[in-house]
Every structure is written in structure tokens, then in C-alpha cells.
Amino acid sequence: MTTQDNSVAGSALGRHVDYPQGYDPGLLYPIARTLGRHAIGLREEALPFIGHDRWHAYELSWLDAKGKPVVATATFEVPADAPNLVESKSLKLYLNSFNASRFDDADAVRASIAGDLSRVAGAPVRVAFGLPPMATGDDDAVSIDALDVAIDHYGPPRADFIRIDADDVVEETLASALLKSNCPVTGQPDWAHVRIAYRGPRLDRAGLLRYLVSFRDHAEFHEQCVERVFADVLAQARPERLSVEARYTRRGGLDINPWRATPGSVTPVARREDRQ
């Protein structure tokens, strides 16, 4: 597939769009990842991470061969090295286009979604019915949200807030439910629970919390925010291993969970937060 240098301006975001009347893969809109990556000094030929964007779809329905409605949930996994990300409103409209369309069976629906998303992303997209289980809180992540920290900066993101103790090398997972950014087109808030797992010089937890809160008035897509967090922590702390996953809250029947990690990292177990 030829990579399209699509910009946000051509998408359905922020515009009135008629409800789709039938299955229409043309509703899907790709946005070139290079548009966000170049802004933080990342180049496609030398990405410092592996990862994926895991979507959860809560509102999926179609008609069976006899016209009876079928409902389902689904999980889509777009690889981080795909040339394009899938714009979220276009994905919502596309999934709604199945509502009045007949399919022989669920496998035909799954195959259609996988094929359509793969063409738009520019790389194979995994599609499965069902959702991951909810997080149980029994992992080893340490929340930094209760820290007594004075904060007065809410944007743009300040990488210099990230500080380390170079004499203390640790392996730990830190978590925060206070990550918020805004859609770059509509200005609507995007809320997320973020997990940062690393091995390297100990991160100053107060500084990390200030850094995450400095996204609060920042406008950037979910995937780009996670890549910015990964790039900033990698540059400021120089960890041996790093994994950043953000589990965003739902909008329009969809939530997205970008994950980026140093090559060789183990894929985190898929979980959903209680706000999802």
C-alpha cells in the first residue's frame, strides 16, 4: 500500500457527517504517523520502540443472513510500525455502517474489518471478537497520584520535569490515572491511565507526575501522546528497558490503548481499567 500523507483537515473530525446507510469501508480515514513523529524527532527508519495500538469496540452490530440483528464487542490491534493510524471518528462511522448490512456469519464480519483496517493502516491488523478482562489491581504497579505535589504547569509538556537518581538503578512500574490531553481538532478531553515500566536510574516520582500533568492542556492524538512520553522518558532517563502503555477512556463506543516499548520487551497482558 502506498502511504498517504493524510492530514487531520481531510477527516470527519469536527464536521457533521450523515449516519451511514450501509457497509462502507471508504469511511475509514488514515492519518500518517510521520505527522506526529517528526514533531518529536522520530524517524520511521529508526524508531526506538516496538508496540501497538489496541482498540476496544463496545458497539458493534450487523444483520445475519435472515436480517436478524447480531451484537458483539471486538478488539483491534494496529502495529506501531504501520504507516498510518486510524482516525477515531472515521472508525466509529465505519463500524456503524455494519448496522444495516447483512453478513453470512461472524467470520465474514471479522474478515471484512481485518481487511479494511489493514488496508487503511498499511500493515496487518489483528481483529478478534470479545474484550480483555478488567484490571484487578493485583499487579506490581505503584500509583504516584497520591503524592503531595504542587503543580502549576499544564502545557505544553515539559520533559525537563523528568529527573533521575543516577546512583540508584531500579526495576519498577509506575502508574497514574491523571493523564489528560485534548483532541487537536475538536478540543474534547482525552483521559487515560498510564503505566510506565522501566529498568534504569530511579525516576523522581514527583517530577514524573508533574510531567504527566503537563499534558493537561496539550492537543495531540492518543498515539502521539504515548510516543512523546516514551521519547521524553527515554531521552531524559536513559533506561535500559522502557514500556509505556496508556489506557484511554471510551468515546463513541471506542477506547484506544497505545503501547510503546524498547525492542525485545514483552507485550503487556491486555487489561481494561474501571473507567473503560
Give yes or no for a contact between 116 and 147, defined as CB atoms under 8 angstroms apart. no
Catalytic residue among 5, 81, 116, 190: 190
The rounded distance, in Å, linking the Cα atoms of 218 and 221 is 10
d(CA 22, CA 103): 12
Q: Is residue 143 classed as helix, strand or coil in its secondary structure?
A: strand
Q: What angle do CA 138, 143, 149 make, to 5 degrees?
A: 165
| Torsional sign, CA 140, 145, 148, 150 | positive
Secondary structure (3-state) at 219:
strand
92 is in an annotated binding site: no
225 is catalytic: no
**Do 48 and 84 meet the contact criterion of CB atoms below 8 Å apart?**
no
Is 172 one of the annotated binding-site residues? no
* H or E element, residue 216: none
User: Strand 126-129 relative to strand 189-203: parallel, antiparallel, unpaired?
Assistant: unpaired
89 is in an annotated binding site: yes
User: Would you say 126 and 114 are in contact if contact means Cβ atoms under 8 Å apart?
Assistant: yes
Q: Point out the catalytic residue in the list 53, 152, 165, 183.
A: 183
Q: Distance between CA 239 and CA 202 in Å, rounded?
A: 9
Q: Can you tell me the distance from the alpha carbon of 26 to that of 24, in angstroms, rounded to the nearest whole number? A: 5
CA-wise closest residue to 134 among 189, 82, 193: 193
Is 56 assigned a ligand-binding role in the annotation? Answer: no
Q: What angle do CA 227, 245, 182 make, to 5 degrees?
A: 60
- 86 annotated as belonging to a binding site for a ligand: yes
Task: Tell whether residue 222 is among the known ligand binding residues.
Answer: yes
Report, as residue numbers or ranges, the catalytic residues: 183, 190
Extract the annotated binding site: 86-89, 222-223, 251-252
Extract the annotated binding site for NADPH: 88-89, 251-252
